[in-house]
Structure 1
Amino acid sequence: MHPARRLYLKKPFKPEIKPLAESSSTSEIKSSTLYSKSGLTLKYQYIGGSEGQVNWIMENNNDKKIDVILIRGAMLNINGESISVPKYVFGDAYAEVYYANHLSTFIQSVNDIPLYSLAILKNNDNKQIGFVFSIPPKSSISVPEYGFVGLVSLQGELYSASAGTLNLYTVFYDYTEIQDYENESGTTVSAPPDPYTVYSIYFDVEQLGDPIIPRYIISMSNDILIKILSMMNS
């Protein structure tokens, strides 16, 4: 059984934000719709090539800005072998790579969410890391992703993300993530310490999909910080 394949970003990438009217009239590549609900629509363009590029198109047909996460999965056929990509949050598989190599930063203000921004995602007591996309009203975002070699089928949904407060988090992660990214992308990358600490706004989400990277994420409340500092000074 072939292990589940992971998808990835790489530099340089050129995400775009466009008004809906402009995005629909200027694209020369056919897009297909995967999901449409509550004024949010997810489309994709399969570019293919040696790295299996897919362009995700996230549309906000509402009259207000909406923050969303993208959960997607795929079936691939590589050399006659069926390979499953589980449905997980975009950004989950290689969050530490993106953070350590300056492809992304963690969100610290809801008024400043560049494309490919990471955040702590919460669903009840479960925490994960992934991208949060802030889509302006009546606009679309187009972002490329790689790894869809031998694409057979895609699944994907958009879920709204509700911003919480800014907190300090300590994140323990699996270092095999770094090795897997280098194998998939053919590039050498840096890695953050294990564990590492970040300030991030957390976002409540309805779904976390099937987390692909095991992480242990601790919210460093004031009480915990005081205890740690007292232990260090004792």
Structure 2
Amino acid sequence: MVSRYGQQPWRRRMRAWTAVLLCSGLAAVGCGSAQGATSMQAGKSDSSQVNLNWQVPYFRDTDEQGQPFSLSDLRGKVWMADFMFTNCTSVCPLTTAHMAKLQRRLRQAGVDAQLVSFTVDPSHDTPQRLRTYAAKYQADLTNWHFLTGYSSRSITRFARDGFKAVIESIPKSNQYTHSTEFYLVGPDGKVVHVYDGLHPNYAKIVAAVRSLET
């Protein structure tokens, strides 16, 4: 069936949903821009000219094994952080797949880094759900930690204070707007680079991680 506007309904819905995703991504990055970060252009993310050094607030959460995991476990280590949730129907499958590929690229390069994924839907994402989600992407859980065990209010504040990122629930749905960026954190617990998680430059990230190890 074709409407009087000459577009099939499914195409109109697809274009509308694409607009929502684009707006969501801009909203997530926009807060960071207001705090001094740059908007990350597709495939061209480069935070080298941005005044970062954002201190990650202390956290003590629960990992996918149901064990406590805190900022203290990352002290002196280089790590990459992102935000996701297991019920995500839009960007999370893509960013998580990219993080999984990044994990493999780091291993192949002999570069040691921890990966940390914070769920933005802690009331739903139990450790068991996070383990199932991680298995779907063949995540190596020896150095990739999926965290939950906090309140929605806490993760919203944590994302804002530590990563200049926005988390918002989408009304009348189980979906969320959140940052799609990857955050590189140095051994001192400060965010030093931000990368586009939808179009990551793996070689550039691996090189940046390696530089922090030396």
Query: What TM-score do the two structures reach when normalised by structure 1?
Result: 0.24
Q: Which has the higher helix share?
A: 2
**Greater Rg over alpha carbons, structure:** 1
Query: What TM-score do the two structures reach when normalised by structure 2?
Result: 0.25
Q: Which has the higher strand share?
A: 1
